[in-house]
Amino acid sequence: GRYLSREPGTMVLFSELTSCAHACEAALRKADWFACAAEINRYWRIKKDLFPGSTTPAIDALFLELRPYYLASGLAGAAGGGFAYFLCADPDQAHRLRTELHKLSPRPGSLGLTFAADLNLTGLRVT
């Protein structure tokens, strides 16, 4: 409703989301992972300001506890579905993050599954 009524503060936040996305793209193109992480973290903060229901106290606590094991994090998806995602500095940090996630699970797999992802630095090639 705040967007549809063009509430000024909301419009500024939406503009900042767009700015974050462009800055993140630029950082990715330069392989500047720390700048990319800063933009991902800024995007997540803005998203929480826009949509307070996009996170829960439990998720916030989990992200805080895992903070030494990633550069940036956020949630993707809507209506209670989707993924938590993390940008790690290197494969060792990613391994430590997965290890900590498994340690924090009250039951094996109760925090979900983990998936490794890499960036394709060459783009799509059709042969």
pLDDT per residue as tens digits for the range 30-84: 989 999 999 999 999 998 888 888 888 988 999 999 999 999 999 887 655 578 8
pLDDT at 58: 87
Measure the CA–CA gap between 48 and 92, rounded to whole angstroms: 29
3-state SS of 29-61 is HHCCHHHHHHHHHHHHHHHHHHCHHHCCHHHHH
pLDDT at 20: 92
pLDDT at 95: 94
- The whole model's pTM is what? 0.82
- 8 A C-beta contact, residue 85 and residue 77: no
pLDDT tens profile 87-112: 999 999 999 999 998 888 877 767 77
Helix (H) or strand (E) holding 76: strand 72-76
pLDDT at 23: 96
pLDDT at 78: 61
Is residue 85 helix, strand or coil? strand
